[in-house]
Structure 1
Amino acid sequence: MPEELTQACGGHSSPVRRPAMVPYITQWSGEEVAPRPKMVMRRGRIAFADERPYDRDSRGVLWARTPCQPGKGRPQFGLVHPLRQRNAVERLLCQVCGGPADRDADGVLWLLTDEPTDEPTEEPGTPADAGSEDVVTEHPPLCLPCARIAVTACPRLRRDFTAVRVRALEQAGVRGALYRPAAPRPVPVDAVSVAFDDPVVDWVRAGKLLLRLTEFRPVSLDTAVPATGT
């Protein structure tokens, strides 16, 4: 993997120099928010005191405001940049290099694990239906070269993974900080996963977009063929 990669933040690209294996969605120390925007209650939901149009998505969900400066400082491997994660999920970009995810006639390439998923339900925090065959994930897809590197470089994937081709999916909700009304300002109370049609979403500051994978089949990374034209 080349050291110089093109990073996209909200659809705008800028080349940055960085270590070879820092995923596109990883947050950097130079992107830390200080101070955080002041939270207020406005029109029956949480809001930033100095809210701007791009602080909310097309559904009206409030998103964490984080500077987008990939390559500045040190990579924070335990943290995911909200805007780049959302951008990768919405546009089906590879979570490692930021380019188009691998796609062929069987669908888009994903790596799944047996770790618990955060199923958005009518009651945040309620476990998913044990009989459901769908998979809810916060992880974007991958291109084939990055997938092959990731399964050897990522400790979680080294333990266990399943490669799948996804043919049908939908945006399921968001994961973020849940707030409750309080004086003088709303206060955070929990980290939750919430569906878009749940009224609780008005009290969540989103940090990750969730996808529901509804039609997929396992494949082998050893025999998979890169999709042409990607």
Structure 2
Amino acid sequence: MICTICWQPIRNGEPRKRVTRSRPSGGMVPVTPAYTHKLCRQKPDRVPYIAAWSSERFAAEPPVVQGLLGGIRYEGEMPADRDGRGVLWLRRPDTPGKGRPRYVDVHPGRQRRCMADLLCQVCGGPADQDDDGRVLRLIEDARADWEGWPNDLVTTHPPICPPCVATARAQCPHTWQGSVAVRVGRSEVCGVWGRRYTASRLGPLPVESGVVPFKSPLLGWTVAAQLVRALNDCSIVSLDEAVAAHA
């Protein structure tokens, strides 16, 4: 049995904890069997740059109405509600550090900034690039999904820098399920993750949340919450080597 944080064996008798994740309806549920050393887990002492804060929520969301030329818009829409591509974005204040951190929620503006400018999701500084320009990412391990993974993977997770890798591994429950370091040679901003709407006699109705490519006709019916990149020319690398190279 291997600890998914330090990747060292968990010996008989050593304190260990099973990895769980939250249920949408509340409570916890075990994931595919995975364990960590109990001592490897740390309480968060650092709020990731992309994490939302309690001050960054509205008492009421702006009403979504049908646009004059099709698609959706906000009632009382402002220019800042759309990006340069004309995509409608989830409206949120940008007040990090005010209130309480909401670790499970991602701030749409800061996530978009990290994905567009290749910034570290934890500290907000430049993400790491090696001498060949390959960007470092920490990704949930899904090598069993298809041959050649993570090539052709689309992700909402921004890159990372080596000093923040250890923090993410020890303090982020998402990485406890098993994560790998990946060097990405090519990536393209290709779409958004958000809530899609459909027309009805009562006005636009939310249908589902998911990835919507920029070329999709459904983009005009989507309120985007996160930017998406497609990853290619990927190589899985040792987490320890990635950190040691910049020690």
Alignment counterpart, residue 94 of structure 1, candidates 120, 123, 147: 120
The alignment's TM-score, normalised by the length of structure 2, stands at 0.75
1:105-162 Cα deviation digits (max 9, x unpaired): 241110111359xxxxxxxxxxx99887311110000011001221122222123111
CA distance in 2, matches of 1:131, 1:223: 22
Q: Please say which structure displays the higher CA radius of gyration.
A: 2
2:61 aligned residue? 36
State the 4+ residue runs in structure 1 displaced beyond 6 angstroms: 128-132
Task: Decide whether the 8 Å contact of 2:189 with 2:230 is kept in 1.
Answer: yes
Query: Is the CA contact 1:102–1:226 (under 8 Å) kept in the aligned structure 2?
Result: no
TM, length-normalised to structure 1: 0.80
Task: Please say if 1:22 is aligned against 2:24.
Answer: no
1:219 matched to 2:240? The reply is: no
Letter in 2 for 1:188: P
- Give the superposed CA RMSD: 2.1
Q: In the alignment, residue 226 of structure 1 is paired with which amino acid?
A: H
CA contact 2:180–2:239 (8 Å) conserved in 1: no
Provide the rounded CA distance (Å) in 2 between the counterparts of 1:219 and 1:129.
18
2:95 is the alignment partner of 1:69: yes
Contact kept, 8 Å, 1:64 with 1:82, in 2: the verdict is yes
Deviation at residue 218 of structure 1 after TM alignment: 1.4
Over the matched positions of the two proteins, sequence identity in percent amounts to: 46
List alignment gaps of at least 5 residues for structure 2.
1-43
Contact 1:179 1:187 in 2 (8 A): yes
Unaligned runs of 5+ in 1: 1-18, 117-127
Cα distance in 2 between the residues matched to 1:115 and 1:204 = 28
Name the stretch that deviates more: 59-68 or 129-138. Answer: 129-138
> Residue 129 and residue 147 in structure 1: after superposition, are their counterparts in 2 closer, same or farther (change >3 A)?
closer
Query: How do 1:24-173 and structure 2 match up within 5 A?
Result: 24-42=49-67, 43-106=69-132, 107-114=134-141, 133-173=151-191
* Alignment-mate amino acid for residue 135 of structure 2: V
